[in-house]
Amino acid sequence: GAGVSQSPSNKVTEKGKDVELRCDPISGHTALYWYRQRLGQGLEFLIYFQGNSAPDKSGLPSDRFSAERTGESVSTLTIQRTQQEDSAVYLCASSLEWPGLESQYFGPGTRLLVL
Amino acid sequence: QKEVEQNSGPLSVPEGAIASLNCTYSDRGSQSFFWYRQYSGKSPELIMSIYSNGDKEDGRFTAQLNKASQYVSLLIRDSQPSDSATYLCAVHYGGNQFYFGTGTSLTVIP
């Protein structure tokens, strides 16, 4: 079946603009993660959704970052008033169950460049 | 602060040799440990998981865990050029978060 998809694959924006990144998880996957990966760095946890439970937002770096997910479907990550340090690859992962130890599947990522 | 440390490399080994990748973690409460492979420009893919002290083998890959020393390693036997990638160590402490190291870049020289 289809894997995790993300759009856009690449995004170039100007400092101060808002951007919206989209993640389509694998159908039936209840858990969804967003990560940020800066160049040459590991993955940085941003936010976690599990079904209809309140999301775990503990990894969001500032109030400029927000994310939504409706039920077990699409998620969007929004970055307001983008800064150059927001430039990174934003990865989404979904899994069938919590916490997805063995089944966390990653999307291809969105490469964000803030000029 | 929960930390996961890896030598960034690059690590170069000749084809057919054993590649040894190491990872240390800061929190003794860590429960689960994972190795991901990430090819350049691609997303990570899970290759090994380990939960108990000792060795776990899967094909050419062996994960080794020593909780007393807070150390987890990945051995790749008979290394192939296709193994050239960045290997990420990840640790799960029981909550929602996975903590990732910065990765070790491996190059297998034909």
Please determine, for residue A93, whether its predicted confidence score (pLDDT) is greater than 90: yes
What pLDDT score does A41 carry? 83
Q: What's the rounded Cα separation, in Å, for the pair B84 and A56?
A: 34
Of all residues in chain A, the percent with pLDDT exceeding 70 is 94
Q: B33 to chain A, minimum CA–CA distance in Å?
A: 9
Contact A40 B34 (CB under 8 A): no
CA distance A103 to chain B (A): 8
Q: Which of residues 6-65 of B touch A (CB under 8 A)?
A: 6, 8, 32, 34, 42-46, 49
Determine the pLDDT at residue A97: 72
Alpha-carbon span A93 to B109, nearest angstrom: 32
Size of the A and B interface in Cβ pairs below 8 Å:
53
Can you tell me the mean pLDDT for B18-39?
91
pLDDT tens-digit readout, B71-82: 999 999 999 999
Using DSSP's 3-state secondary structure scheme, residue B15 falls into: coil
% of chain B at pLDDT higher than 70: 98
pLDDT of res. B92: 86
Q: What is the pLDDT of residue A99?
A: 61
Write down the pLDDT at residue A102.
Answer: 64
User: d(Cα B90, Cα B104) in Å, to the nearest integer?
Assistant: 12
| Residue A94: Cβ-neighbour burial (10 angstroms; 0-12, 13-18, 19+) | buried
Write down the mean pLDDT value for chain A: 91
Q: How confident is the model at residue A1 (pLDDT cuts 50, 70, 90)?
A: low
C-alpha angle B97-B75-B91 in degrees, rounded to nearest 5: 10
Q: Is residue B96's pLDDT more than 90?
A: no
Q: In Å, what is the CA distance from A36 to each residue of A27, A43, A52, A110, B43?
A: 23, 6, 23, 10, 12
Cβ distance B34 to A109 less than 8 Å, yes or no, reads no
A45:B98 CB<8 A: yes
Q: What tens digit of pLDDT does each residue of B46-75 get?
A: 899 999 999 999 999 999 999 999 999 999
Please judge whether B97 and A58 are an interchain contact, meaning their C-beta atoms are less than 8 angstroms apart.
yes
Chain B residues 76-105 within an 8 A CB cutoff of chain A:
88, 90, 92, 95-103
